[in-house]
Structure 1
Amino acid sequence: MEDRSAVSPPAGSTVTPKESRRALVSSFLGSTVEYYDFLLYGAAAGLVFPVLFFPETMDPRLGATLSFVILLAGYISRPIGGILFGHFGDKVGRKSMLFITLMMMGIVSICIGLMPTYESIGIAAPLILVALRIVQGLAVGGEWAGATLMAAEHVKEGNRGLAASIAVTGGPTGSVLATLILGLFAGLPDEAFLSWGWRVPFLLSAALVVIGLYLRFRVTESPDFAAARAAGEVHTGVPIMRVIKNYPLTSLYGILAAAGPLFMQALLAVWVVPYVAAQGVVPRQDALYMLTFSSVLHIAAIPFFAWLSDRYGRRPVMLVGAAVSVSLVFPMFMLLNSGSYWLVALGFVVGNPIIQASMYGPIGAFLAEKFETQDRYTGVSLTFQVGSVLGAGTAPLMANWLFDLDNGGGTNNIAWYFIGLIAVSALAVYLSKETLVRTTARRGGRRTQTAGVAAD
């Protein structure tokens, strides 16, 4: 295929600083609300749903496994949502799609907060939960790429890594809100928490959604997309078919690169919290607070590693992040298994802002710069969301299975699996083209950096 570098118009060329700031804030807050709703289910999956949405006679571990299967259903639907919203995002525009995804997420979260339990309606309860989780997945599937692109396409190309990471940090920020608010109610007596306390965090999302919708209504359309549409570069065909035809290896490398760090993200948020709480050293509420604290540090770590990628390239930073991940995963589990309250807390810190963020920070720009403007929403959605299924979606189920293997390995099995997954991700990054291309051109005495896009 021909080299399609520099097809996109210069990012931010028709955007004022005020509009750029508004796009960044809108992407960050909107993504925060989306992931608050989506990750709130994950936080509740191991603590609440096995008790309330399955028969009392069922083995608790089987109930937890089924809750994780429903969690996986949301991840499986994410690529479908990514393709759906990516299709219209590449043909109609980014702004309107992001408005719709946020509205969908808010409605579903309120429905979960109000829905009856297994005791009230029997088998219909988990079935409704599956349906709502699938709709959640569709919405998040269209959210991540859209929010990331709205941030990245509103700034100059030399700052795209940092800008994209602002939207990416909506994930850990949503996790902070979800675990903090759920943690507050988790301190209630079990009877109160299981009857009504767990519902309040889901219902509170209504206020967050209203704020997010207001901000998204005010933001301008992506300047890259507007320029491409004005130049007649927005095609009338099917974006997903162009992505499959023109970017097969690019898409494959993007999927595999995202899978490794996303596994660690879901492992900590969904599986590790009930695991450490079950050991008896850390109460349920404190485990959620430990995750919350590590997520706060995560919010700062993601832009830091993205900023490094703006200076040194996406590939070098992500490859170093892979090496960091491999070297620290066994120490992380040693801390989590230490039986010491404060060492367990340190284990969360090693896992989130260091292991996960070191490779995940540049991922927004790494994926966005691989596709032309008219294919970018679909391409980024497809690669990231399929990667999320392979990594985050399967993490709790794989962790349960690996931990229970009849070889005495326990968390060592999980650590070795993660190392294998990170090795595959690192290989995909290594085989990818560097998308941050340094040039010797100077503007106002400063060297500029541009993002190259090349089809396979």
Structure 2
Amino acid sequence: MTMAYKGAAATAAGQAQRRRTRRVVMASIAGNAMEWYDFFIYGTAAALVFGELFFPKGTDPLLGTMGAFAGFAVGFLARPLGGVVFGHIGDRRGRKIALEWTLGIMGASTFLIGLLPTYAQAGFWAPAAMVLLRILQGAAAGGEWGGGVLLISEAVEGRRRGFFSSFSQLGVAGGFVLSSAVFMLAQQLPRDAFMSWGWRLPFLLSVFIFGIGLYIRRHIPESEAFVQARKTARRGMPAVEVFRRYPREVFTAMGLRVAENGGSYIFLAFALAYGKFLGISSDLMLGGVLLSMFVELGTLVWFGHLSDRIGRRAVYLLGSAGLMAAAFPFFWMVETREPFWIFAAFLLGNTVCHAAMIGTQPSYFAELFPPEVRYTGLALGHELASVFAGGLSPLIAMALLRKYESATPVAWFLVGLAAITVITLLLTRERRGGTGREQAGPF
């Protein structure tokens, strides 16, 4: 009887844990998608309309787009600051409260972008206000990713951490799919209406997205790993502790991030501007992006599962080395101007190369740091690299295109980004399945 009772209790406990895991996974995906919708909508608008509306371009049609991408880059400069601030809150007060703050700041700044006057209406005050709001977006994004990852990775067992942690990236990819779809719908308006007020609609929708996301996040249980770690955590600043005790891990995360982040914004932001430069319909280019990101929702989870089987480093190497190989073919396929090859280019870049890295990244990064500084460690490694990788990549690519009127230098730039990550991987030893620093806890 006693054995039967214990067996039933264990079964009930297992079922309760599985229900909790499913709840956390679904809530994390939905909350992340709401927040990353807000962040990505700027990149789409920067490539297609902001250069014309907010940044003086003179006689050079590429100059205004470069100005819009400069504002895009400024947002990335604020991401490490957001990582420090919200990482501190997440490591000291809880993952949930940090994520509620990031969502609120992101939603408010995105909504206000939709209300801004244009350059023709307000002069230089318009781009100045745009850049300020982009900085707020960047700070919120800097604190978002680490917390979104930890909600899941700290709630699952080590042997399947790669698979379940990859679901946190569904929110990131889903946010981009949602933002691209809404922007495509807005572009169906007559051009004059779209340029006058239609472009504002995707930004103004963020007020509803904020409400949905906040409701979801307030009903997520706090991470048990955080609750346990808080009992024995040091009282110092988490950012100081990370750099003092785990500098190698921070630089490892930064190196791993370069190819994924820089490559993704070449494919997702610069490619739209390049298509416009070639005279390709923006609907066709957005369609390619949207299709590839939709398919990536499945492939990134599969790559996360594969990392549990063959190791994080092997899968990440597949993605980064694949990016080096795909750099030139991507632009060759776009330059055909044929829908089939354009779609194939985005599928190659996003659903294979990018998915292999982004699907493995959450578990790989989480295993680098212990729970008491994990939020801060993830945020710093992730966001410091984003400043010069994702933040500057579209701007550098536009500058290269403006100077050489060719995508060949951009392809070489992409190869260089991928090479940094490949070298980092070759210098990094595997920490798979929670066998690294953390030996106890819910993993």
TM norm structure 2: 0.92
Find the aligned partners of 1:14 and 1:80 in 2 and give their Cα distance: 40
Question: How many pairs align?
Answer: 426
In 1, the alpha carbon distance for the partners of 2:403 and 2:53 equals 28
Calculate the aligned-residue CA RMSD, in Å. 1.8
CA distance in 2, matches of 1:13, 1:109: 41
Aligned to 1:375: 373
Q: 1:55 to 1:327 in 2, by over 3 A?
A: closer
Judge conservation of contact 2:25–2:168 (CA < 8 Å) in 1: yes
Name 1:302's counterpart in structure 2.
300
Kindly provide the amino acid, as one letter, of the partner of residue 91 in structure 1.
R
Partners in 2 of 1:126 and 1:363 — Cα distance?
Answer: 34
Tell me which amino acid in the other structure corresponds to 2:41.
Answer: L
- Find the counterpart in structure 2 of residue 441 from structure 1: none
Q: How do 1:100-115 and structure 2 match up within 5 A? A: 100-115=101-116
On the 8 A contact 1:91/1:235 being kept in 2, the answer is no
1:44 maps to: 45
- Give the distance between the partners of 2:216 and 2:354, measured in 1 at CA: 29
1:22-421 matches, within 5 Å, as: 22-55=23-56, 57=58, 59-229=60-230, 232-280=231-279, 282-406=280-404, 410-421=406-417
Q: Which amino acid aligns with 1:59?
A: D
Alpha-carbon distance between aligned partners in 1 of 2:299 and 2:141, rounded to the nearest angstrom: 22
CA–CA distance in structure 2, aligned partners of residues 401 and 166 of structure 1: 35
Post-superposition shift, 1:430?
A: 2.1
Work out the CA distance in 1 between the residues paired with 2:326 and 2:56: 40
Q: Is the 8 A contact 1:186 1:284 kept in 2?
A: no
Residue range with higher mean Cα deviation, 427-436 or 81-90: 427-436
In structure 1, C-alpha distance between the alignment counterparts of 2:402 and 2:46, rounded to whole Å: 19
SS of the aligned residue for 1:451 comes to coil
- Tell me the distance in 2 between the aligned counterparts of 1:419 and 1:157: 33
Query: Contact 1:250/1:432 (CA < 8 Å) preserved in 2?
Result: no
Counterpart check, 1:453 vs 2:432:
no
Residues 1:422 and 2:418 aligned together: yes
Contact kept in structure 1, 2:369 and 2:377, CA below 8 Å = yes
Instruction: Give the whole-Å Cα distance in 1 for the aligned partners of 2:167 and 2:121.
Output: 42
> What is the distance in 1 between the residues matched to 2:415 and 2:57?
37
Q: CA deviation at 1:150?
A: 0.7
Structure 2, unmatched stretches of 5+, are 1-12, 439-443
Letter in 1 for 2:152: A
Task: Quote the offset at 1:321 in angstroms.
Answer: 2.0
The answer (yes or no) to whether the contact 1:54–1:118 under 8 Å persists in 2 is yes
> Which whole-Å CA distance do the structure 1 matches of 2:155 and 2:293 have between them?
26
- Distance (Å, rounded) in 1 between the aligned partners of 2:252 and 2:319: 16
Q: In the aligned structure 2, how far is the partner of 1:387 from the partner of 1:57? A: 33
Contact 1:187/1:285 (8 A) holds in 2: no
TM-score under structure 1 length normalisation? 0.90
Q: Secondary structure at the match of 2:189?
A: coil
Q: Give the SS at the match of 1:307.
A: helix
Question: What amino acid is the match of 1:350?
Answer: L
Q: Which amino acid aligns with 1:264?
A: G
Name the structure 1 match of 2:21.
20
**CA-CA distance at 1:15 after TM superposition:** 6.9
Partners of 1:24 and 1:38 lie apart in 2 by 21
Q: Which moved more, 1:181-190 or 1:320-329?
A: 320-329
1:9 aligned residue: none
Taking the aligned partners of 1:338 and 1:60, their CA distance within structure 2 comes to 22
Superposition deviation, residue 119 in structure 1:
1.9
Counterparts of 2:343 and 2:29 in 1: how far apart (Å)?
27
Quote the offset at 1:362 in angstroms. Answer: 0.5
Q: Which moved more, 1:252-261 or 1:313-322?
A: 313-322
Q: Distance in 1 between matches of 2:330 and 2:254?
A: 25
> By how many angstroms is 1:434 displaced?
1.1
With over 3 angstroms needed to count, the CA separation of the structure-2 counterparts of 1:411 and 1:57, relative to structure 1, is closer
Secondary structure at 1:169 match in 2 = helix
Question: How far apart are the structure 2 equivalents of 1:405 and 1:193?
Answer: 30
| Secondary structure, aligned partner of 2:235 | coil
Q: Which residue of 2 is the match for residue 444 of structure 1? A: none
2: CA distance between counterparts of 1:173 and 1:371? 27
2:306–2:315 CA contact under 8 A, matched in 1: yes
Q: Given that residues 32 and 174 in structure 1 are in contact (C-alpha distance below 8 angstroms), is that contact kept between their aligned partners in structure 2?
A: yes
Please report how far the alpha carbon of residue 274 of structure 1 lies from its aligned counterpart in structure 2 after TM superposition. 2.3
Query: Distance between the aligned counterparts of 2:429 and 2:162, measured in 1?
Result: 16
Change (3 A) 1:260 1:56: closer
CA separation of 1:15/1:70 partners in 2, compared to 1, >3 Å: closer, same or farther? farther
Output the CA distance in 2 between the equivalents of 1:14 and 1:248: 39
How far 1:14 sits from its partner (Å)? 12
Q: Does the residue aligned with 1:155 lie in a helix, a strand or coil?
A: coil
Cα displacement (A) at 1:405: 4.0
Distance in 1 (alpha carbons) for counterparts of 2:393 and 2:172: 17
Question: What's the offset of the Cα at 1:104?
Answer: 1.1
Separation in 2, partners of 1:228, 1:14: 25
Unaligned runs of 5+ in 1: 1-11, 437-448
SS state at 1:48 partner = helix
Counterpart residue identity of residue 290, structure 2: T
Q: Which amino acid aligns with 1:400?
A: M
Distance of 2:49 and 2:401 partners within structure 1:
21
Q: Deviations over 1:250-286 (max 9, x none)?
A: 1111101111111111112111012113323x31122
CA displacement 1:96-144 (0-9 Å, x = unmatched): 1001111111111110111111122211110000110000001010000
345-354 or 58-67, larger mean C-alpha shift: 58-67
**Paired-residue identity, %:** 35
Could you tell me how far apart the structure 1 residues matched to 2:311 and 2:353 are?
19
C-alpha contact 1:14 1:223 (8 A) present in aligned 2: no
* Partner in structure 1 of residue 430 of structure 2: 434
